[in-house]
């Protein structure tokens, strides 16, 4: 007998038919004699609809505490409906809200971090042979207030339960059937991977592959929870995410594209010691996350600094920099939202020379201009113009995979 | 400085505009220097929409525990939105779910009774000068499971808070501006009452006036909480509900109609001692509430027993009676759903003869046939055919009031 944690996203429970489908998957597992804990997100577009309701009341931004009260109603609805569907099939089942399932978080509303899971109730319900349906994305802080883990938080909820309960496997059901070497909707030759390492998956998640939430992969790595990404609509094996995988002939595991990127350039900055440090320090104080950085020599002893941030943080970054203009004699600050980051990821690439030149050659052949380059041990990213992104992914994928 | 409890129903918070309107009412009260606790229902048709979702999953009736999890999401949404609207006006505010507000109930899901209110958090938030928005209709049982108080339970939540916190007044806002002598949408000459006793209000609530939930009036009577029924859309005085009211010239306070009535007849029952007792005992075991009863002599030494139940309990009653046919030699069991109960209510009527004959005369003049009659100290009800109900209410109202 094993303990299996299964997580289903919003599209997997979007309507009654889908809910019934998920109930079948769950009860098939239970029928094998396994204990089953299920984590669910809000149905389909519920979260967006609730956000819209809040915007109607106050378009200028509402209290984060109340936003958490509002949004967690979404998962509350889906756990009840899924429990009803399981019950209809004749199985013992109970739904639990985040706080009932023991999720204790810090007090950072809308982006709370799990502090611990009090597993008492989960264990008691498993002892009663109940299938447990847990509301993902939500917890409670020490003031007894409802918190949420941020978008994609249901993945994190599932991994946290798997870690706390020492589950045998954590299965993340989604609308794709695994992790591909590129977005299969865009690159027809993309291949599904049987296995991928946590680190590779982390890079791919960060890079916009959008299969798994990043924090959930970090947590899985930290607690060594084996993940499986698979489809809720098709019965087939997915992709296993774990610490070490079998060596395969392809060094490059995937090609990812991220269009949620703004490139900000500070032009004609007077060259003095510590200027770059001061600029990035101000951005850090404003909690702006910098990704790629390019520094180049400008005219007349000045220099230019360009860096990328996520599209949503771009206004914050520009506001923070505006105050700098006088302090540092800056000629201009420009923002380019029409950019995309394309990356290749592979755990073995560090020890293989020639990967970079092969990537750049593929881009050159496809007539794509490279604006910035960034590297890490297991990835290589380039910033290019957004409209060439799909073409670039296809060209790189053709060069490395197949 | 006073403590005012205000309750707003689903139609009062149906959309963003209405929510903002309620926020204005609340903050006007707070600006006077009063402490304000607000109880809200789910927005507009939310509860019905959620019930529809449950029916889609399992039309054959779902777990009551899960139904409570599902439905309480409705109030969760409305408290968050109302708190956001109050916050936008610049006032300190916090929303609390039933369990956060301290509502401890028994374990009877969907029809739970409040056992106590743990007022600790309510008092702490008032001490911080917060306006408190509480989710009506919901609580928590000793197993830490979410419960609901049944339809109209938000009225009960408000009265319970007013009682537990020793509030100075409990105001129930609705879409009518008070309690009328008859349904003002049907009877144009209906008059609004300034005051009404708990007992009169109880009879009117039971009789389908639908202004206040019955249990809330019982609780207000028990703890002597002064209620005011008033409109959320118009700024004017409503109707006060309390123990004793000034004597007025009209003995009859209101005329009410209830179309949610089924009349069940057991025809040709062999007359033997204890038969009636046994029949009603079986119905009691099935938790069927009997309202009016008529026993009459039939042919050949048999008798007929007719009684009324609420429309929703009619199938349960018939099922319970089916088993009787053999046991008691019954000729037939018939059900008539096309009936209505029309009643007059007035605390002084008991000591005034001639009320009944005046009512029957009004019905006779209006050509309405009386099928059953029931009386209590402060009311007189008749069962008539449903299609004549509005005509009957108008005729009785004309005879007694104006």
What is the predicted ipTM? 0.81
Q: Could you give the CA distance from residue A231 to residue B333 in angstroms, rounded to a whole number? A: 55
Average pLDDT over residues A54-65: 91
Q: Rounded to whole angstroms, how far apart are CA atoms B64 and A347?
A: 51
pLDDT in tens, B209-267: 778 888 899 999 999 999 999 999 888 899 999 998 776 666 788 999 999 999 999 88
CB contacts of A101 in chain B (<8 Å) are none
Question: Does residue A37 register a pLDDT over 90?
Answer: yes
Q: By the CB < 8 Å criterion, does A51 face chain B? A: no
Question: pLDDT tens for residues B375-398?
Answer: 888 888 999 999 999 999 999 999
Residues in A touching B83 (Cβ below 8 Å): 63, 66, 69
Q: Are strands B169-174 and B138-140 parallel, antiparallel or unpaired?
A: unpaired
Quick: pLDDT tens for B13-60.
Answer: 999 999 999 999 999 999 999 999 999 999 988 999 999 999 999 998
Stretch 85-114 of chain A: residues touching chain B, C-beta under 8 Å:
85, 87-88, 94-95, 97, 100
Quick one: closest CA in B to A145, which residue? B100
The pLDDT value recorded for residue B304 is: 86
Contact of A118 with chain B, judged by CB distance below 8 Å, is answered with no
Averaged pLDDT for residues A294-317: 84
Amino acid A402: pLDDT = 65
pLDDT interval class at A4 (50, 70, 90): very high
Question: Min CA distance, B43 vs chain A (Å)?
Answer: 11
B chain contacts of residue A57, beta-carbon cutoff 8 Å = 16, 19-20, 81, 84-85, 88
In this predicted structure, the answer to whether residue A248 has a pLDDT above a threshold of 70 is no
DSSP code string of B231-293: ESSS-S--EEEES-----S-S--EEEEEEEEEEEEEEEEE--TTHHHHHHHHHHHTTPPP--E
Beta-carbon neighbour count of residue A214 at 10 Å? 16
Q: Is A172 helix (H, G, I), strand (E, B) or coil?
A: strand
pLDDT at B340: 95
pLDDT at A389: 94
Output phi, psi for B287, to 5 deg: 60, 30
Q: What is the pLDDT of residue B30?
A: 98
A322 burial via Cβ count (<10 Å: 0-12, 13-18, 19+): exposed
* pLDDT computed for residue A95 by the predictor: 98
Phi, psi of A86 (to 5 degrees): -70, -40
| A84 Cβ under 8 Å from any chain B Cβ | yes
Average pLDDT (A184-194) is 89
Tokens of B301: 């030494």
Q: Is the pLDDT of residue A128 over 90?
A: yes
Contact A67, A112 (CB under 8 A): no
- pLDDT number for residue A98: 98
Which range is least confidently modeled, A66-75, A297-306, B117-126?
Answer: A297-306
In this structure, how many other beta carbons lie within 10 angstroms of the beta carbon of residue A269? 23
Average pLDDT of the residues in B356-364: 90
With a cut of 90, say whether residue B151 has pLDDT above it. Answer: no
Q: What is the pLDDT averaged over residues B189-214?
A: 86
Nearest Cβ partner of B73 from A73, A87, A146? A73
Report chain B's mean pLDDT, rounded to a whole number. 91
Q: Could you tell me which of B161, B165, B99, B146 has the C-alpha nearest to residue A145?
A: B99
When mean pLDDT is compared over A176-180, A336-340, B274-278, B290-294, the highest value belongs to A336-340
Cα–Cα distance for residue pair A13/A42, rounded to 1 Å: 8
A57 and B20 within 8 Å at the Cβ level: the answer is: yes
Inter-chain residue contact B58 with A95, CB threshold 8 Å: no
Q: Is B58 on the interface with A (CB under 8 A)?
A: yes
Give the span between the Cα atoms of B133 and A51, in whole angstroms: 19
pLDDT at B247: 66
**Beta carbons of A73 and B70 less than 8 Å apart:** no
Mean pLDDT value across chain A: 91
Residue A122 and residue A102 in contact, taking contact as beta carbons nearer than 8 Å: yes
Contact A63 B83 (CB under 8 A): yes
The verdict on a CB contact (< 8 Å) between B76 and A76 is: yes
Tell me what the mean pLDDT of segment A232-247 comes to: 87
Of A80, A88, A145, the CB nearest to B69: A80
Hey, what are B153's tokens? Answer: 């339970």
- Say whether pLDDT at A327 is over 80: no
Confidence band of A365 (pLDDT split at 50, 70, 90):
very high
Q: Does pLDDT of B402 surpass 70?
A: no
Distance from CA of B158 to the nearest CA of A (A): 20
pTM comes to 0.83
pLDDT of residue A247: 66
Closest residue in chain A to residue B54, using alpha carbons only: A81
- Residues in A 6-35 with any Cβ partner in B closer than 8 A: 16, 19-20
Write out chain A residues lying below 8 Å of B80, CB-based. Answer: 54, 66-67, 69-70, 73
The C-alpha of B118 sits at a distance from chain A's nearest C-alpha, in angstroms, of 14
Q: Say yes or no: A142 contacts chain B, CB-CB below 8 A.
A: no
Question: What is the pLDDT confidence band of residue B290, given thresholds at 50, 70 and 90?
Answer: confident
CA distance B178 to B184: 10
Average pLDDT of A249-256? 81
- Asked if B66 and A83 come within 8 Å (Cβ–Cβ), the reply is yes
Contact B60 A121 (CB under 8 A): no
The pLDDT of residue A250 is 64
With contact defined as beta carbons under 8 Å apart, do B26 and B8 qualify? no
pLDDT at A378 over 80: yes
At B109, the pLDDT band (50, 70, 90 cuts) reads very high
Residues B343-355: tens digit of each pLDDT: 999 887 777 778 8
Q: Do B73 and A69 touch (CB under 8 A)?
A: no
- Convert the pLDDT of each residue in B293-302 to its tens digit: 888 776 677 8
State whether residue A103 is helix, strand or coil: strand
């Amino acid at each position: 007998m094993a303990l299996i944690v299964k997580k289903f996203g919003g599209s997997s429970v979007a309507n009654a038919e889908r809910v019934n489908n998920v109930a079948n998957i769950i009860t098939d597992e239970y029928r094998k004699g396994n204990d089953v804990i299920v984590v669910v997100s809000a149905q389909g577009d519920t979260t967006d609809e609730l956000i819209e309701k809040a915007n109607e009341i106050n378009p200028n931004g509402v209290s984060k505490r109340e936003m958490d009260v509002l949004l967690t109603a979404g998962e509350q609805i889906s756990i009840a409906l899924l429990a009803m569907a399981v019950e209809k099939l004749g199985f013992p089942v109970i739904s639990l809200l985040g706080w009932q399932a023991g999720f204790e978080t810090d007090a950072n509303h809308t982006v709370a971090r799990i502090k611990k899971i009090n597993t008492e109730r989960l264990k008691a319900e498993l002892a009663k042979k109940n299938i447990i349906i847990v509301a993902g994305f939500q917890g409670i802080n020490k003031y007894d207030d409802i918190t949420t883990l941020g978008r994609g938080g249901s993945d994190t909820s599932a991994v946290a339960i798997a870690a706390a309960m020492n589950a045998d496997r954590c299965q993340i059901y989604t609308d794709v059937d695994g992790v591909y070497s590129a977005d299969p909707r865009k690159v027809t030759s993309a291949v599904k991977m049987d296995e991928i390492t946590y680190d590779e998956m982390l890079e791919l998640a960060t890079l916009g592959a959008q299969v798994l939430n990043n924090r959930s992969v970090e947590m899985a790595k930290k607690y060594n929870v084996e993940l499986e990404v698979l489809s809720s609509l098709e019965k087939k094996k997915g992709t296993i995410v774990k610490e070490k995988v079998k060596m395969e002939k392809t060094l490059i595991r995937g090609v990812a594209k991220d269009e949620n990127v703004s490139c900000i350039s500070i032009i004609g900055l007077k060259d003095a010691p510590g200027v770059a440090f001061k600029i990035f320090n101000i951005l850090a104080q404003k909690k702006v996350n910098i990704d790629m950085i390019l520094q180049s020599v400008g005219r007349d002893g000045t220099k230019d600094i360009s860096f990328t941030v996520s599209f949503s943080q771009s206004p914050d970054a520009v506001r923070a920099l505006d105050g700098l203009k006088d302090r540092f004699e800056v000629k201009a600050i420009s923002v380019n939202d029409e950019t995309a980051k394309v990356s290749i990821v592979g755990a073995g690439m560090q020890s293989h020379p020639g990967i970079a030149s092969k990537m750049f050659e593929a881009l050159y052949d496809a007539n794509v201009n490279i604006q910035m380059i960034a590297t890490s041990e297991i990835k290589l990213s380039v910033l290019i113009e957004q409209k060439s992104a799909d073409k670039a992914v296809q060209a790189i994928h053709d060069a490395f995979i197949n």
